[in-house]
Amino acid sequence: MEQLIANFPKQIEEAIEIGRTTKLNFNGKIFSNVVVSGLGGSGIGGSIVAEIVSGEASAPISVNKDYFLPAFVNENSLVIISSYSGNTEETVNAMQQAIEKKATVVSITSGGKVVEFSQKNNLPYILIPGGMPPRSCLGYSLTQLFFVLNAAGIISNRFEKELEKSVVLLNKEQTRIQKLALRVAKKLYKKIPVIYSATGFEGVTIRFRQQINENAKMLCWHNVIPEMNHNELVGWVDKNKKLGVVIFRNSTDYSRTQNRIENNKEVIAGCTSTIIELFSKGKSKLENSIYLIHLGDWISLYMAQLRNVDATEVNVIDRLKGALAKL
């Protein structure tokens, strides 16, 4: 897992080349909506990309993490199937629904049933390298989502330069990122992590939560600001030294949201002394997101090492899949 995380910048570079050489033609069709269907490490890219492009996307983008597609999906919808293995049963079921609804379907996968269905129904798909844990291949799947949205006329090609700049940023900051991640991990690995960010970076926050779950084998939770100011903030009343708060921050976060964060810190400080603020680097929302994703991945790995657990092991998920296969 350590090498897979270290290869994240290289993975994005390879993914850019895959995206540029894969030719998608939607014949100028105008889409009324976009649905990205995928779960876990394959699906989180949809949540992150949807937030990054929200300011320019010409059609609403939603993320589906279930067996069934929303009722609004029809022949005017673009459905992007994201399944790293190509065999995720919920996503395969959603893909079959999308075909039945006559939506335009394009897939991002490394093989499996998704490729079989794509070939059988003459549907376009983008093939990415396989054989790795899905959560370690976010660079591949996330990057292809940008290329699909661009080919469909939903977004411009501005993302390409921003992705390239993200790679430069990560390579430049790699040593500092790892040192910071280790310091944070040492403060968190015996705590129950509570992760916050401003709205617009919830996908990045969820990614960090999922990495802590899978890599460090720990429970944690997340929320976003200002939403949590209308509910969760009220729960910060009891002292609890077991809680460790991480706040993902950006210099571009809305000023009133930043004021809320400062106020929240005062409230939370009455309950726990472990409050860690992590500021992103980069000159665009995409760069900010990529930086925080990479930092969070390293933190989760170091937490796994400090807890002496295998970051790659997911036996409980394998057991669940085995049980479902018998039904």
Confirm whether 239 is a catalytic residue: no
Q: Would you call 19 helix, strand, or coil by DSSP?
A: helix
Q: 23, 230, 242, 326: which one is catalytic?
A: 230
**Phi and psi for 165 in degrees, rounded to 5?**
-65, -30
Confirm whether 2 is a catalytic residue: no
Q: 10, 102, 179, 321: which one is catalytic?
A: 321
Lookup result for tokens 């844990």 = 133
Nearest to 206 by CA among 145, 255, 158, 248: 248
Confirm whether 321 is a catalytic residue: yes
Q: 90, 202, 214, 287: which one is catalytic?
A: 214
Handedness of CA 225, 228, 230, 233 (dihedral sign): negative
Nearest to 207 by CA among 8, 4, 44: 44
Nearest to 26 by CA among 152, 157, 154, 156: 152
Lookup result for tokens 């690995």 = 189
Distance CA 126, CA 141 (A): 9
Q: Which residues are catalytic?
A: 214, 230, 321
